[in-house]
Chains A and B, each alone.
Chain A
Amino acid sequence: MDDIILKKKSYLDDIRERRERYAALTASSNSVIIKPSIAPELKKRSDMLKQILDDTK
């Protein structure tokens, strides 16, 4: 096979490998980042407290 093609294929394989590694890292980091469910839960609790405070003035 032509040298240029071999070189380009090797470069392409390198990009593919890096992309896959990055995708795997991203997937694992997503589970470490704070769960998005915490924010709505905080809002819900705060609204509930506000309601109690308003009702018991």
Chain B
Amino acid sequence: MAESKQTSGKPMTLVDPIDMSLLDAKFRDDIKSMPDGEELSACFACSTCTAACPIANQWTYKPHQLIRMILLGMREEVLSGKEIWECLTCFQCQERCPQKVRITDIFFDCKNLAAESGKVPEKVLAIAKELIDKGQLYVVTSDWEREDLGLEAAVPGLSTDGIRAILKETRTGRLVKGGE
């Protein structure tokens, strides 16, 4: 019989014990009350979401673990991790969940909770600033290219006043102000 390579230390399959005193039971209620968070508790940890995720192998915590961590109340670990921001938003996990847990949507909820406490990656904050300053993520610079193709140099109907006025008054405005 082949000898097991792992003779001492904890088995690879076990994770560090969770410190119960650090759990925040309100976390799952917060998520459940957010858009598309209702089905959170239906998760039975089958990890189909993780199998469907094209980048789960890059992550310390896999999608099914993140859902479990939300249910357990590991607010800090989920909201401070890189995983929620690296979610491709490809919806493959959500589409395949046999329990109809809206996983991708829930990760959007997590990002909103992180943003509410000011935790936004620098380059995402730069996008917020673009939206406040310019009202769009891409601005026409090569208008001669448009004219060559028979299009009007300036995009017909374009007005950025509306979006800028809205976002100045919502969280985007507060984040950009706080980041300055």
User: Do A and B assemble together?
Assistant: no
